[in-house]
Amino acid sequence: MTSARVVDESLVQRRLYTERQWLAFVSGKPLPSGSPGNHDIPASWQRSAHNLPPQKDYVVPCDDEQTAGLRWKNSPLRQAAEPELGRIRQLVQEGSLVAALSDAQGHLLWTCASKPMRGQAEAVNFVAGGHWNESSAGTNAVGLTATLRRSTTVFSCEHYLPYVHDWVCYAAPILHPRTQEMLGVLDISAMWEHHTPLGPSAVKELAGSIARRLPDIQPRAELEIFALGQPKVYFRGKLQHLSHRQMEILSLLALNPQGLTLDAFHAALYGDASISTSTLKAEFSHLRRLLDGQVSSRHYRLTVPVWADFIEFWQLLRRNLAQDAIGIYRGPFLPQSNSPELEEWRHCLEAALGRVLDDCDDFSMLVGKMCRGSVGSELIRERLESLMARQ
């Protein structure tokens, strides 16, 4: 009995602390010092305030039933989630909870509520079709996870909107095992007094179970090169473990589909560095073995269909599809490379990104890219500061 009372008292104190923080924020005062709290929350409040005021009469947008149904029907999550839905429903009923699956943009695709929570969920549009991204619903676990791309907990008055201050919500991203693309978010919520430290791990485990059942994404080409941000290469659907030098060589091969002579390739890769051509030949020999012989040697070029994210990024920009280009941008192009040709391409891509950001007014999208560790982080930060200055 004593331990239960201590837990209850600690939750009350936590709620009072978050309430003081929230009241200070909405009144424009400095946040009170004290417990360290969740540092993601004040930053999310700032983003939320850019889009909507914390009004009690604000209504979270919600799609009509037909639109919501079609979105769920066409979602890649549906088939993967169905084997887990029975387990989630049982958990919801036994624990007086509400559960939701959203897409990567925070649109709720499916929900399930226990009898005690059903009315509460319906009253705030926490139902299929509800828009629970940060820009539409302020700080909440679905929106915060969609922005940060990692598990989050939002407790009581950490929510931006006052009518969900009685909730505690746990959310985890659903990431495709092969590509690590975020396809959705799983959220489980309860009344704040029912908060349990086991909540985050339970939701993360369920999200992982759904992710493991996702259908494999068909490769874009026999050889896929990801060199924006964290480099990785897939050959015939299998992840290859390449050295930094092999990544440089593969990128140069993708950028020169017509092929290069040994001397031209040496200049593109090493510049004036005193490295012998025999060293380069040895590198090609290793790479050729990894790619089942799909590198010709008279003119060095790939003999297999190839897709590369940096080339796709450039082509999207040339077709004026700026939003799609920003969507695939995960970081700078091989930032550790000293190859003259790759350095030139990196500078061109960064300059192109800068021009795109100068024309971008989508505050939430920019914040999301920065929170995911995307590069152009400095460029994105500068653009965000420019947008904030307009307010």
User: Would you state the CATH architecture of domain 2-212?
Assistant: 2-Layer Sandwich (3.30)
Q: How far is CA 384 from the centre of its chain?
A: 18
Q: What does R_g of the chain's alpha carbons equal in angstroms?
A: 25
Q: Using pLDDT thresholds of 50, 70 and 90, give the confidence band for residue 320.
A: confident
Q: Does domain 223-390 have CATH number 1.10.10.10?
A: yes
Q: How far apart are CA 1 and CA 170, in angstroms?
A: 26
Q: Using pLDDT thresholds of 50, 70 and 90, give the confidence band for residue 386.
A: low
What is this structure's pTM? 0.67
Q: Which amino acid would we find at residue 132?
A: W
Q: How far apart are CA 332 and CA 335, in angstroms?
A: 6
pLDDT of residue 33: 67
Residue 91 neighbours by CB distance under 10 Å: 18
Q: Does the pLDDT value for residue 388 go beyond 50?
A: no
For the chain, what are the domain ranges?
Answer: 2-212, 223-390
pLDDT in tens, 217-257: 778 899 999 999 889 999 998 889 999 999 999 999 999 99
Q: How far apart are CA 226 and CA 232, in angstroms?
A: 5
pLDDT of residue 212: 94
Please, is 273 exposed, middle or buried when counting C-beta atoms within 10 Å of its C-beta (0-12, 13-18, 19+)? exposed
Helix 141-148 to helix 40-51 angle (10° resolution) is: 100
pLDDT of residue 377: 47
Highest-scoring range by mean pLDDT, 34-38, 154-158, 321-325, 330-334: 154-158
Residues β-bridged to residue 295? 302
Q: Using pLDDT thresholds of 50, 70 and 90, give the confidence band for residue 390.
A: very low
